[in-house]
Amino acid sequence: MIRKIIAYRNYFVDFYKSQEFKVQEKIEYVFDLVRFEKQIPKKFFKNLENTDGIYRSITT
pTM for the structure as a whole? 0.66
pLDDT bucket at 34, cuts 50 / 70 / 90: confident
Q: State the alpha helices, DSSP H only, in the chain.
A: 11-17, 21-36
Average of per-residue pLDDT values in the chain: 79
Q: How far apart are CA 18 and CA 50, in angstroms?
A: 30
- List the domain boundaries for the chain: 1-60
Distances (CA, A) of 44 to 25, 26, 29: 15, 12, 11
pLDDT of residue 14: 94
* Cα 3 → chain centroid: 10
